Structure 1
Amino acid sequence: MTAPLVTILDDEPAIRTMLTDALEDAGFRTLSFGRAQAFTAALAQHQPDVCLVDLSLPDTDGLTLVHKLALEQGAIVIIISGRALVQDKVTGLELGADDYIIKPFDPAEVVARIRARLRTSKPAPTTGQTARFASWQVLFDQYVLEDDAGQQTPFSHAEGEVLRLFLENPKRLISRAQMQDHLGGAASESFDRAMDVRISRLRTKLREDPKNPQLIKTIYGAGYIFLGDVTWQ
Protein backbone atom coordinates (compact mmCIF):
# COMPACT_ATOMS: atom_id res chain seq x y z
CA MET A 1 0.00 0.00 0.00
CA THR A 2 1.42 3.37 -1.07
CA ALA A 3 2.06 5.85 1.74
CA PRO A 4 -0.06 9.04 1.65
CA LEU A 5 1.52 11.96 -0.19
CA VAL A 6 1.74 15.28 1.67
CA THR A 7 2.68 18.45 -0.23
CA ILE A 8 4.20 21.34 1.72
CA LEU A 9 3.95 24.92 0.46
CA ASP A 10 5.87 27.39 2.61
CA ASP A 11 8.43 30.03 1.66
CA GLU A 12 10.56 29.36 4.77
CA PRO A 13 13.18 26.64 4.02
CA ALA A 14 13.60 25.76 7.71
CA ILE A 15 9.89 25.01 8.07
CA ARG A 16 9.84 22.94 4.89
CA THR A 17 12.80 20.92 6.14
CA MET A 18 11.31 20.44 9.61
CA LEU A 19 7.98 19.26 8.21
CA THR A 20 9.59 17.03 5.60
CA ASP A 21 11.76 15.30 8.21
CA ALA A 22 8.86 14.80 10.65
CA LEU A 23 6.45 13.51 8.01
CA GLU A 24 8.91 11.15 6.35
CA ASP A 25 9.95 9.78 9.76
CA ALA A 26 6.21 9.10 10.32
CA GLY A 27 5.97 7.15 7.06
CA PHE A 28 4.51 9.76 4.69
CA ARG A 29 5.79 10.70 1.25
CA THR A 30 6.42 14.42 0.79
CA LEU A 31 6.98 17.09 -1.84
CA SER A 32 7.88 20.62 -0.74
CA PHE A 33 7.72 23.96 -2.51
CA GLY A 34 8.67 27.53 -1.70
CA ARG A 35 6.53 29.16 -4.40
CA ALA A 36 2.90 28.68 -5.37
CA GLN A 37 3.74 28.58 -9.07
CA ALA A 38 5.95 25.50 -8.70
CA PHE A 39 3.40 23.92 -6.37
CA THR A 40 0.45 24.32 -8.76
CA ALA A 41 2.55 23.08 -11.69
CA ALA A 42 3.39 19.91 -9.73
CA LEU A 43 -0.31 19.19 -9.16
CA ALA A 44 -0.63 18.36 -12.86
CA GLN A 45 1.52 15.27 -12.24
CA HIS A 46 0.87 14.42 -8.59
CA GLN A 47 -2.31 13.81 -6.62
CA PRO A 48 -1.57 14.67 -2.98
CA ASP A 49 -3.63 13.26 -0.15
CA VAL A 50 -2.91 16.30 2.03
CA CYS A 51 -1.80 19.85 1.17
CA LEU A 52 -0.09 21.96 3.85
CA VAL A 53 -0.35 25.60 2.77
CA ASP A 54 1.13 28.75 4.30
CA LEU A 55 -0.97 31.88 3.81
CA SER A 56 1.92 34.35 3.55
CA LEU A 57 3.29 33.43 0.13
CA PRO A 58 5.49 35.73 -1.98
CA ASP A 59 3.81 35.01 -5.33
CA THR A 60 0.11 34.51 -4.62
CA ASP A 61 -2.67 35.04 -2.08
CA GLY A 62 -2.69 31.97 0.16
CA LEU A 63 -6.42 32.14 0.87
CA THR A 64 -7.28 32.20 -2.84
CA LEU A 65 -5.08 29.15 -3.35
CA VAL A 66 -6.74 27.33 -0.44
CA HIS A 67 -10.17 27.94 -1.97
CA LYS A 68 -9.03 26.68 -5.37
CA LEU A 69 -7.49 23.55 -3.85
CA ALA A 70 -10.62 22.79 -1.81
CA LEU A 71 -12.87 23.04 -4.87
CA GLU A 72 -10.69 21.49 -7.56
CA GLN A 73 -8.14 19.17 -6.01
CA GLY A 74 -10.12 17.07 -3.57
CA ALA A 75 -7.17 16.82 -1.18
CA ILE A 76 -7.33 17.54 2.52
CA VAL A 77 -6.17 21.16 2.92
CA ILE A 78 -4.50 22.27 6.15
CA ILE A 79 -3.43 25.89 6.60
CA ILE A 80 -0.18 26.58 8.47
CA SER A 81 0.07 30.25 9.31
CA GLY A 82 1.44 32.84 11.69
CA ARG A 83 -1.93 34.60 11.60
CA ALA A 84 -3.52 33.77 14.95
CA LEU A 85 -6.67 35.92 14.85
CA VAL A 86 -9.98 34.05 15.11
CA GLN A 87 -11.23 35.81 11.98
CA ASP A 88 -8.27 34.50 9.97
CA LYS A 89 -9.09 30.96 11.10
CA VAL A 90 -12.77 31.39 10.30
CA THR A 91 -12.00 32.80 6.85
CA GLY A 92 -9.66 29.91 6.05
CA LEU A 93 -12.25 27.34 7.12
CA GLU A 94 -15.02 29.14 5.25
CA LEU A 95 -12.95 28.98 2.06
CA GLY A 96 -12.69 25.21 2.34
CA ALA A 97 -9.69 24.41 4.54
CA ASP A 98 -10.06 21.32 6.73
CA ASP A 99 -7.83 22.53 9.57
CA TYR A 100 -5.77 25.52 10.69
CA ILE A 101 -2.45 25.27 12.54
CA ILE A 102 -0.78 28.36 14.00
CA LYS A 103 2.98 28.99 13.87
CA PRO A 104 5.09 28.23 15.82
CA PHE A 105 4.01 24.60 16.08
CA ASP A 106 5.32 21.23 17.16
CA PRO A 107 5.82 19.05 14.04
CA ALA A 108 4.42 16.10 16.01
CA GLU A 109 1.12 17.99 16.24
CA VAL A 110 1.05 18.40 12.45
CA VAL A 111 1.65 14.67 11.99
CA ALA A 112 -1.13 13.87 14.48
CA ARG A 113 -3.61 16.22 12.79
CA ILE A 114 -2.85 14.80 9.36
CA ARG A 115 -3.42 11.27 10.62
CA ALA A 116 -6.70 12.33 12.23
CA ARG A 117 -7.88 13.99 9.01
CA LEU A 118 -6.96 10.96 6.90
CA ARG A 119 -8.92 8.72 9.27
CA THR A 120 -12.06 10.87 9.13
CA SER A 121 -11.85 11.33 5.34
CA LYS A 122 -11.97 7.59 4.62
CA PRO A 123 -15.39 6.42 3.44
CA ALA A 124 -17.29 4.13 5.77
CA PRO A 125 -17.07 0.48 4.68
CA THR A 126 -20.87 0.17 4.37
CA THR A 127 -21.15 2.97 1.80
CA GLY A 128 -19.79 3.67 -1.64
CA GLN A 129 -18.66 6.72 -3.56
CA THR A 130 -22.04 7.52 -5.15
CA ALA A 131 -25.30 8.35 -3.38
CA ARG A 132 -28.76 9.31 -4.69
CA PHE A 133 -31.40 11.36 -2.91
CA ALA A 134 -34.32 13.54 -4.03
CA SER A 135 -33.37 14.78 -7.53
CA TRP A 136 -29.64 14.58 -6.85
CA GLN A 137 -26.71 12.25 -7.30
CA VAL A 138 -23.52 12.92 -5.35
CA LEU A 139 -20.22 11.63 -6.72
CA PHE A 140 -17.76 11.67 -3.84
CA ASP A 141 -14.86 10.46 -5.99
CA GLN A 142 -15.31 13.51 -8.24
CA TYR A 143 -16.48 15.99 -5.58
CA VAL A 144 -19.58 16.97 -7.55
CA LEU A 145 -23.35 17.10 -7.13
CA GLU A 146 -25.33 16.21 -10.26
CA ASP A 147 -29.01 17.03 -10.83
CA ASP A 148 -31.47 15.04 -12.97
CA ALA A 149 -30.56 17.15 -16.01
CA GLY A 150 -26.89 16.25 -15.67
CA GLN A 151 -25.78 19.69 -14.46
CA GLN A 152 -22.85 19.34 -12.08
CA THR A 153 -21.95 21.52 -9.10
CA PRO A 154 -18.56 21.04 -7.40
CA PHE A 155 -18.15 20.92 -3.64
CA SER A 156 -15.06 21.10 -1.45
CA HIS A 157 -13.50 18.29 0.57
CA ALA A 158 -14.70 20.01 3.76
CA GLU A 159 -18.27 20.30 2.43
CA GLY A 160 -18.07 16.67 1.32
CA GLU A 161 -17.22 15.52 4.85
CA VAL A 162 -20.38 17.16 6.17
CA LEU A 163 -22.53 15.90 3.29
CA ARG A 164 -21.31 12.33 3.74
CA LEU A 165 -22.08 12.51 7.45
CA PHE A 166 -25.66 13.53 6.64
CA LEU A 167 -26.14 10.93 3.91
CA GLU A 168 -24.81 8.12 6.09
CA ASN A 169 -27.23 9.11 8.85
CA PRO A 170 -30.48 10.12 7.11
CA LYS A 171 -33.49 11.06 9.26
CA ARG A 172 -31.36 11.01 12.42
CA LEU A 173 -30.50 14.01 14.56
CA ILE A 174 -26.81 14.92 14.34
CA SER A 175 -25.68 17.09 17.23
CA ARG A 176 -22.81 19.59 17.22
CA ALA A 177 -20.88 17.22 19.48
CA GLN A 178 -21.32 14.37 17.00
CA MET A 179 -20.16 16.59 14.14
CA GLN A 180 -17.12 17.64 16.13
CA ASP A 181 -16.30 14.02 16.98
CA HIS A 182 -16.75 12.82 13.38
CA LEU A 183 -14.94 15.70 11.69
CA GLY A 184 -12.09 15.94 14.17
CA GLY A 185 -12.48 19.60 15.07
CA ALA A 186 -11.92 21.25 18.42
CA ALA A 187 -14.94 22.71 20.21
CA SER A 188 -14.78 26.43 19.56
CA GLU A 189 -16.68 29.37 18.15
CA SER A 190 -14.70 29.10 14.90
CA PHE A 191 -15.62 25.38 14.52
CA ASP A 192 -19.32 26.15 15.02
CA ARG A 193 -19.18 29.01 12.53
CA ALA A 194 -17.32 26.88 10.00
CA MET A 195 -20.00 24.18 10.26
CA ASP A 196 -22.75 26.77 9.78
CA VAL A 197 -20.99 28.09 6.67
CA ARG A 198 -20.48 24.62 5.18
CA ILE A 199 -24.11 23.69 5.76
CA SER A 200 -25.29 27.00 4.30
CA ARG A 201 -23.19 26.39 1.19
CA LEU A 202 -24.49 22.84 0.84
CA ARG A 203 -28.06 24.16 1.01
CA THR A 204 -27.25 26.71 -1.69
CA LYS A 205 -25.75 24.02 -3.93
CA LEU A 206 -28.81 21.83 -3.33
CA ARG A 207 -30.98 24.86 -4.29
CA GLU A 208 -32.75 24.86 -0.97
CA ASP A 209 -34.93 27.73 0.19
CA PRO A 210 -32.79 29.17 3.04
CA LYS A 211 -35.94 30.11 4.98
CA ASN A 212 -37.55 26.71 4.58
CA PRO A 213 -35.01 24.00 3.63
CA GLN A 214 -36.52 20.62 2.83
CA LEU A 215 -33.43 18.41 3.00
CA ILE A 216 -31.09 19.76 5.71
CA LYS A 217 -33.18 20.94 8.64
CA THR A 218 -31.85 22.87 11.62
CA ILE A 219 -33.21 21.66 14.96
CA TYR A 220 -32.48 24.72 17.08
CA GLY A 221 -30.56 23.95 20.23
CA ALA A 222 -30.02 20.34 19.16
CA GLY A 223 -28.31 20.05 15.76
CA TYR A 224 -29.28 19.07 12.21
CA ILE A 225 -31.25 16.35 10.47
CA PHE A 226 -31.16 15.22 6.82
CA LEU A 227 -34.68 14.31 5.65
CA GLY A 228 -34.03 12.75 2.22
CA ASP A 229 -34.25 9.06 1.32
CA VAL A 230 -30.71 7.95 0.42
CA THR A 231 -29.51 5.04 -1.70
CA TRP A 232 -25.81 4.17 -2.11
CA GLN A 233 -24.03 2.61 -5.04
Structure 2
Amino acid sequence: MCAYLLVAEDDPGQAEGLRRYLAAEGHHTVVVHDGRAALDEVRRRPPDLLVLDVMMPGLDGLSLTRILREKSDVPILMLTARSGEDDMLAGFAGGADDYLTKPYSPRELLARTRALLRRGAGRDSTEAGLLQLGGLSVDVSRHEVRVDGRQVECTRGEFALLAAMAEEPERVFTRAQLLKHTNGVERDSVERSIDVHVLNLRRKIEPDPRRPSRLVTVYGVGYKLTAGTA
Protein backbone atom coordinates (compact mmCIF):
# COMPACT_ATOMS: atom_id res chain seq x y z
CA MET A 1 0.00 0.00 0.00
CA CYS A 2 1.53 3.28 -1.13
CA ALA A 3 0.64 6.16 1.18
CA TYR A 4 1.55 9.78 1.76
CA LEU A 5 3.54 10.05 4.99
CA LEU A 6 4.72 13.17 6.78
CA VAL A 7 7.77 12.92 9.05
CA ALA A 8 8.41 15.68 11.60
CA GLU A 9 11.88 15.19 13.10
CA ASP A 10 14.36 17.96 13.96
CA ASP A 11 17.48 15.75 13.82
CA PRO A 12 18.59 15.68 10.14
CA GLY A 13 20.26 12.27 10.43
CA GLN A 14 17.29 10.59 12.06
CA ALA A 15 14.90 12.33 9.66
CA GLU A 16 16.81 10.99 6.66
CA GLY A 17 16.86 7.50 8.16
CA LEU A 18 13.09 7.61 8.63
CA ARG A 19 12.60 8.85 5.09
CA ARG A 20 14.70 5.99 3.68
CA TYR A 21 12.93 3.29 5.72
CA LEU A 22 9.48 4.53 4.70
CA ALA A 23 10.41 5.20 1.08
CA ALA A 24 11.72 1.62 0.82
CA GLU A 25 8.17 0.51 1.65
CA GLY A 26 6.95 2.43 -1.39
CA HIS A 27 5.51 5.41 0.49
CA HIS A 28 5.74 9.02 -0.66
CA THR A 29 7.46 10.59 2.33
CA VAL A 30 7.86 14.30 3.09
CA VAL A 31 10.17 15.50 5.89
CA VAL A 32 9.91 18.69 7.95
CA HIS A 33 12.11 19.69 10.89
CA ASP A 34 9.87 21.57 13.32
CA GLY A 35 6.34 21.54 14.66
CA ARG A 36 5.16 24.72 12.94
CA ALA A 37 6.18 23.37 9.54
CA ALA A 38 4.41 20.09 10.31
CA LEU A 39 1.23 21.94 11.26
CA ASP A 40 1.32 23.96 8.03
CA GLU A 41 1.90 20.82 5.96
CA VAL A 42 -0.96 18.88 7.59
CA ARG A 43 -3.32 21.78 6.96
CA ARG A 44 -2.14 22.08 3.36
CA ARG A 45 -2.30 18.36 2.59
CA PRO A 46 -3.42 15.92 5.31
CA PRO A 47 -1.15 12.86 5.26
CA ASP A 48 -2.19 9.25 5.59
CA LEU A 49 0.14 9.08 8.61
CA LEU A 50 2.13 11.60 10.63
CA VAL A 51 5.37 10.31 12.19
CA LEU A 52 6.04 12.86 14.89
CA ASP A 53 9.03 13.48 17.15
CA VAL A 54 8.08 14.76 20.61
CA MET A 55 11.02 17.10 21.19
CA MET A 56 11.09 19.74 18.44
CA PRO A 57 11.82 23.47 18.42
CA GLY A 58 9.04 26.05 18.26
CA LEU A 59 6.12 23.67 18.68
CA ASP A 60 6.74 20.31 20.35
CA GLY A 61 5.04 17.08 19.36
CA LEU A 62 2.61 16.93 22.27
CA SER A 63 1.40 20.49 21.65
CA LEU A 64 1.09 19.85 17.93
CA THR A 65 -0.96 16.70 18.59
CA ARG A 66 -3.38 18.58 20.81
CA ILE A 67 -3.82 21.29 18.15
CA LEU A 68 -4.42 18.75 15.40
CA ARG A 69 -6.93 16.76 17.43
CA GLU A 70 -9.23 19.77 17.61
CA LYS A 71 -10.10 19.27 13.93
CA SER A 72 -8.16 16.31 12.52
CA ASP A 73 -8.09 12.55 13.03
CA VAL A 74 -4.87 12.02 11.05
CA PRO A 75 -3.10 8.91 12.44
CA ILE A 76 -0.12 9.92 14.58
CA LEU A 77 2.87 7.73 15.44
CA MET A 78 4.81 9.55 18.15
CA LEU A 79 8.58 9.12 18.53
CA THR A 80 10.48 10.01 21.68
CA ALA A 81 13.75 9.46 23.49
CA ARG A 82 11.82 9.41 26.76
CA SER A 83 11.01 5.89 27.90
CA GLY A 84 9.02 6.75 31.04
CA GLU A 85 5.45 5.46 31.28
CA ASP A 86 4.12 8.91 32.22
CA ASP A 87 5.54 10.36 29.01
CA MET A 88 3.97 7.59 26.97
CA LEU A 89 0.59 8.04 28.62
CA ALA A 90 0.79 11.81 28.05
CA GLY A 91 1.17 11.09 24.34
CA PHE A 92 -1.90 8.87 24.25
CA ALA A 93 -3.90 11.31 26.36
CA GLY A 94 -3.04 14.07 23.90
CA GLY A 95 -4.39 12.03 20.99
CA ALA A 96 -1.47 10.00 19.61
CA ASP A 97 -2.43 6.65 18.08
CA ASP A 98 0.82 4.86 18.79
CA TYR A 99 4.12 5.52 20.55
CA LEU A 100 7.65 4.35 19.76
CA THR A 101 10.70 4.91 21.99
CA LYS A 102 14.13 5.69 20.55
CA PRO A 103 16.26 3.87 19.67
CA TYR A 104 13.92 1.66 17.66
CA SER A 105 14.55 -0.96 15.02
CA PRO A 106 13.48 -0.30 11.41
CA ARG A 107 11.38 -3.49 11.56
CA GLU A 108 9.42 -2.25 14.55
CA LEU A 109 8.93 1.17 12.97
CA LEU A 110 7.58 -0.38 9.78
CA ALA A 111 5.34 -2.80 11.72
CA ARG A 112 3.76 0.11 13.60
CA THR A 113 3.40 2.10 10.39
CA ARG A 114 1.69 -0.76 8.58
CA ALA A 115 -0.73 -1.31 11.47
CA LEU A 116 -1.77 2.36 11.56
CA LEU A 117 -2.16 2.55 7.78
CA ARG A 118 -4.32 -0.60 7.73
CA ARG A 119 -6.56 0.85 10.39
CA GLY A 120 -6.71 4.21 8.64
CA ALA A 121 -7.69 2.55 5.36
CA GLY A 122 -10.98 1.49 6.94
CA ARG A 123 -12.61 -1.77 7.86
CA ASP A 124 -13.83 -4.35 5.37
CA SER A 125 -17.45 -4.66 4.32
CA THR A 126 -18.34 -7.13 7.07
CA GLU A 127 -17.41 -4.52 9.65
CA ALA A 128 -18.94 -1.49 7.95
CA GLY A 129 -22.29 -0.22 9.19
CA LEU A 130 -24.06 1.44 12.06
CA LEU A 131 -23.61 -0.03 15.55
CA GLN A 132 -26.33 1.06 17.98
CA LEU A 133 -26.34 0.55 21.73
CA GLY A 134 -28.95 2.53 23.64
CA GLY A 135 -28.30 6.22 22.99
CA LEU A 136 -24.82 5.48 21.65
CA SER A 137 -24.28 4.94 17.92
CA VAL A 138 -21.00 4.11 16.17
CA ASP A 139 -21.00 4.53 12.39
CA VAL A 140 -17.98 2.53 11.24
CA SER A 141 -18.23 3.48 7.56
CA ARG A 142 -18.39 7.21 8.33
CA HIS A 143 -16.11 7.09 11.38
CA GLU A 144 -18.73 8.92 13.45
CA VAL A 145 -19.85 8.57 17.06
CA ARG A 146 -23.10 10.03 18.36
CA VAL A 147 -24.48 10.17 21.87
CA ASP A 148 -28.22 10.82 22.07
CA GLY A 149 -28.03 12.31 18.57
CA ARG A 150 -25.08 14.58 19.37
CA GLN A 151 -21.88 13.95 17.43
CA VAL A 152 -18.70 13.59 19.50
CA GLU A 153 -15.13 13.69 18.16
CA CYS A 154 -12.88 10.71 18.84
CA THR A 155 -9.26 10.01 18.01
CA ARG A 156 -8.56 6.97 15.84
CA GLY A 157 -7.44 5.01 18.86
CA GLU A 158 -10.57 5.87 20.81
CA PHE A 159 -12.78 5.08 17.83
CA ALA A 160 -11.09 1.72 17.21
CA LEU A 161 -11.61 0.74 20.85
CA LEU A 162 -15.24 1.88 20.89
CA ALA A 163 -16.10 0.19 17.58
CA ALA A 164 -14.58 -3.11 18.70
CA MET A 165 -16.61 -3.08 21.91
CA ALA A 166 -19.81 -1.93 20.18
CA GLU A 167 -19.63 -4.93 17.87
CA GLU A 168 -19.85 -7.21 20.92
CA PRO A 169 -21.85 -5.37 23.58
CA GLU A 170 -21.73 -6.78 27.11
CA ARG A 171 -18.57 -8.75 26.27
CA VAL A 172 -15.76 -8.17 28.75
CA PHE A 173 -12.51 -7.22 26.98
CA THR A 174 -9.11 -7.44 28.64
CA ARG A 175 -6.65 -4.60 28.10
CA ALA A 176 -4.47 -6.89 25.97
CA GLN A 177 -7.44 -7.68 23.69
CA LEU A 178 -8.30 -4.00 23.32
CA LEU A 179 -4.67 -3.16 22.65
CA LYS A 180 -4.80 -5.25 19.47
CA HIS A 181 -7.54 -2.98 18.15
CA THR A 182 -5.98 0.33 19.18
CA ASN A 183 -2.29 -0.23 18.47
CA GLY A 184 -2.03 -3.22 16.20
CA VAL A 185 0.88 -4.57 18.26
CA GLU A 186 0.61 -6.37 21.61
CA ARG A 187 3.00 -4.91 24.16
CA ASP A 188 2.56 -5.27 27.91
CA SER A 189 4.34 -1.95 28.46
CA VAL A 190 1.56 0.02 26.81
CA GLU A 191 -1.52 -1.73 28.18
CA ARG A 192 -2.10 1.21 30.52
CA SER A 193 -2.73 3.33 27.43
CA ILE A 194 -6.12 1.58 27.24
CA ASP A 195 -7.02 3.17 30.59
CA VAL A 196 -6.25 6.59 29.13
CA HIS A 197 -8.48 5.93 26.10
CA VAL A 198 -11.26 4.75 28.42
CA LEU A 199 -11.02 7.88 30.58
CA ASN A 200 -11.17 10.10 27.49
CA LEU A 201 -14.12 8.18 26.06
CA ARG A 202 -16.04 8.38 29.32
CA ARG A 203 -15.77 12.16 29.22
CA LYS A 204 -17.36 12.04 25.77
CA ILE A 205 -20.07 9.38 26.02
CA GLU A 206 -21.09 9.15 29.68
CA PRO A 207 -23.82 11.30 31.31
CA ASP A 208 -21.60 11.33 34.41
CA PRO A 209 -17.99 10.24 33.71
CA ARG A 210 -17.39 9.76 37.44
CA ARG A 211 -20.15 7.12 37.54
CA PRO A 212 -19.87 5.35 34.19
CA SER A 213 -22.91 3.40 33.03
CA ARG A 214 -21.94 2.73 29.39
CA LEU A 215 -18.21 1.99 29.41
CA VAL A 216 -17.99 -0.09 32.56
CA THR A 217 -15.01 -1.46 34.47
CA VAL A 218 -15.10 -5.16 35.27
CA TYR A 219 -12.64 -5.28 38.15
CA GLY A 220 -9.74 -7.63 37.74
CA VAL A 221 -10.59 -8.30 34.08
CA GLY A 222 -11.07 -5.23 31.88
CA TYR A 223 -13.96 -3.26 30.36
CA LYS A 224 -17.30 -3.81 28.67
CA LEU A 225 -19.74 -1.60 26.75
CA THR A 226 -23.40 -1.61 27.78
CA ALA A 227 -26.58 0.20 26.78
CA GLY A 228 -26.29 2.31 29.94
CA THR A 229 -29.09 3.37 32.23
CA ALA A 230 -32.37 4.85 31.15
Q: For residues 43-70 of structure 1, give each alpha carbon's deviation from its aligned partner in whole angstroms, at most 9, with x where no partner exists.
A: 2232212111111111113211122334
Alignment of 1:105-144 (within 5 A): 105-121=104-120, 122-128=122-128, 130-139=130-139, 144=144
The 8 Å contact of residues 69 and 155 in structure 2, kept in 1 or not, is answered as yes
Distance 2:188 2:152 in 1: 30
2:197 maps to 1:182: no
The 8 Å contact of residues 71 and 157 in structure 1, kept in 2 or not, is answered as no
- Structure 2: segments with no counterpart, 5+ residues: none
2:35 maps to 1:32: no
Superposed structure 1 runs of 4+ greater than 6 Å apart: none
The 8 Å contact of residues 70 and 96 in structure 1, kept in 2 or not, is answered as yes
Partner residue of 1:14?
A: 13
Q: For residues 170-191 of structure 1, give each alpha carbon's deviation from its aligned partner in whole angstroms, at most 9, with x where no partner exists.
A: 22221223223333244335x2
Shift of residue 71, structure 1, vs aligned partner:
4.6
- Normalized against structure 1, the TM-score is what? 0.85
Q: For residues 7-49 of structure 1, give each alpha carbon's deviation from its aligned partner in whole angstroms, at most 9, with x where no partner exists.
A: 1001111112111111111111211111222221122232212
Change (3 A) 1:197 1:82: same
Q: State the secondary structure of the residue aligned to 2:127.
A: coil
Distance 1:153 1:146 in 2: 6
Alignment of 1:1-233 (within 5 A): 3-121=2-120, 122-128=122-128, 130-139=130-139, 144-148=144-148, 151-183=150-182, 184-189=184-189, 191-228=190-227
Distance 1:36 1:129 in 2: 36
Q: State the secondary structure of the residue aligned to 2:44.
A: coil
The 8 Å contact of residues 173 and 224 in structure 1, kept in 2 or not, is answered as yes
The 8 Å contact of residues 136 and 146 in structure 1, kept in 2 or not, is answered as yes
Over the aligned positions, Cα root-mean-square deviation in angstroms equals 2.4
Bigger RCO (CA 8 Å, 6+ sep): 1
Amino acid at match of 1:28: H
Q: For residues 141-164 of structure 1, give each alpha carbon's deviation from its aligned partner in whole angstroms, at most 9, with x where no partner exists.
A: 66553344x543211111111111
Shift of residue 226, structure 1, vs aligned partner:
1.4
Deviates more, 1:10-19 or 1:170-179: 170-179
Distance 2:161 2:13 in 1: 35
The 8 Å contact of residues 72 and 156 in structure 1, kept in 2 or not, is answered as no
Distance 1:143 1:65 in 2: 22
- Normalized against structure 2, the TM-score is what? 0.86
- Structure 1: segments with no counterpart, 5+ residues: none
